[in-house]
């Protein structure tokens, strides 16, 4: 770590204020400043963005912060990501090869995407290439995209129980196509449990975005 603990705390505080103000510009300025001081993009994400988002998430689950604030946090972080971190990561991509390619989406019948977007973002900043298929993705589309993109992992999420059977369906279809061994499968989302993931034969499970990244790292051995 190239900066002091105090500086880190200060950056976290400033990012929190930028999110409160809903100011993408402030977030961008802050990130540029931190990188000038010697932080690398992954550090900025793990040491500054991640703790701030986790704190926001914790306060959301305690009913102290609300969805619009999460959305605003996502907006500011996305701007920082796109305007500051990604260009640098792309520049360095020769040195830092992708840790793996991941197809991600919300299962058929479900149009919720807040959690899925957060997971996609976390995977990206952690060095994975991510192809986001969006919401209500059919089993067929998951498989077609995985084949087309030559993906390593298919990541499926849902917030609602009626869409859970589609996770099983994707695995069954891969089986019948003889493709099951070609892709790793991870699942997540509010009603999805580790037991369910095991039962349907998924390779990994994430309770939240941090766990999802960890599961993908393990599956890719990185």
Partner 1 sequence: METRLRSPSGKEVVISGDMPTVMIGERINPSGGRRKKLTEALANGNMEPIRQEAARQAAAGASIIDVNVQAASVRDEAATLVQAIHAVAEEVDLPISIDTSDWDVLEIALKACPGRPLVNSVNGTEEAMNRVLPLIAEHQAVVISLPIDDEGIQQDPKRRLAVAEKILRRAESFDIPPEDIIMDGLTMTVGADMKAAVATIETINLIRENLDLNMTLGVSNVSFGLPLRETINTGFLYMAIAAGVRCPIVDPIKMRKVVLTADLLTGRDPFADRFTSYYREIRESGEL
What secondary structure, in 3-state letters, does the chain show?
A: CCCCHHHHHHHHHHHHHHHHHCCHHHHHHHHHHHHHCCCCHHHHHHHHHHHHHHHHHHHHHCCCCCHHHHHHHHHHHHHHHHHHHHHHHHHHHHCCCCCCEEEEEEECCCCCCHHHHHHHHHHHHCCCEEEECCCCECHHHHHHHHHHHCCCEEEEECCCHHHCHHHHHHHHHHHHCCCHHHCEEEEECCCCCHHHHHHCCCCEEECCHHHHHHHHHHHHCC
Q: How far apart are CA 166 and CA 73, in angstroms?
A: 30
* Residue 135 contacts partner 1 per CB under 8 A: yes
Measured from the CB atom, the residue of 56 and 125 that comes closer to partner 1 is 56
The 15-34 contact track toward partner 1, x by CB under 8 A, reads --------------------
In whole angstroms, how close is the CB of 59 to partner 1 at the nearest point? 12
Distance of closest approach, residue 35 Cβ to partner 1, in angstroms: 30
From the list 185, 184, 188, 183, the residue with the least C-alpha distance to 209 is: 188
Work out whether 157 is an interface residue with partner 1 (CB under 8 A): no
Smaller CB distance to partner 1: residue 52 or 164? 164
In the bound state with partner 1, the residue whose beta carbon lies nearer, of 40 and 160, is 160
Contact (Cβ atoms closer than 8 angstroms) between residue 116 and residue 106: yes
| Contact mark string toward partner 1, 83..122, x via CB under 8 A | --------------------------x-x--x--------
Binding map of partner 1 across residues 161-190, x = CB under 8 A, - = no contact: xxxxx------------------------x
The distance of closest approach from Cβ of residue 64 to partner 1 in the complex, given in angstroms and rounded to an integer, is 10
Q: Is 63 in the site for partner 1 (CB under 8 A)?
A: yes
Nearest-approach distance from CB 127 to partner 1, in angstroms: 28
Tell the smallest beta-carbon distance from residue 161 to partner 1 (Å): 5
Q: Which residues bind partner 1 (CB under 8 A)?
A: 60, 63, 66-68, 70-71, 109, 111, 114, 134-136, 138, 159-165, 190-193, 196
């Amino acid at each position: 770590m190239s900066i002091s603990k105090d500086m880190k705390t200060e950056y976290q505080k400033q990012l929190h204020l930028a999110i409160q103000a809903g100011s993408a510009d402030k977030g961008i300025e802050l990130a540029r400043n931190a990188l000038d001081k010697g932080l690398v993009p992954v550090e900025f994400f793990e040491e500054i963005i991640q703790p701030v988002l986790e704190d926001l998430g914790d306060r959301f689950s305690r009913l102290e912060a609300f969805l619009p604030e999460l959305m605003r946090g996502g907006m500011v972080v996305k701007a920082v990501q796109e305007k500051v971190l990604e260009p640098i990561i792309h520049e360095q991509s020769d040195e830092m090869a992708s840790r793996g390619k991941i197809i991600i989406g919300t299962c058929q019948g479900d149009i919720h995407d807040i959690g899925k977007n957060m997971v996609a973002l976390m995977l990206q900043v952690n060095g994975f290439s991510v192809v986001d298929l969006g919401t209500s993705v059919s089993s067929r589309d998951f498989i077609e995209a995985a084949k087309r993109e030559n993906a390593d992992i298919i990541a499926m999420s849902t917030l609602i129980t009626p869409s859970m059977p589609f996770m099983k369906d994707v695995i069954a279809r891969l089986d019948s196509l003889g493709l099951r061994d070609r892709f790793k499968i991870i699942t997540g989302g509010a009603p999805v449990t580790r037991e369910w993931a095991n039962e349907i034969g998924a390779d990994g499970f994430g309770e939240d975005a941090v766990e999802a990244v960890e599961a993908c790292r393990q599956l890719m051995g990185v």
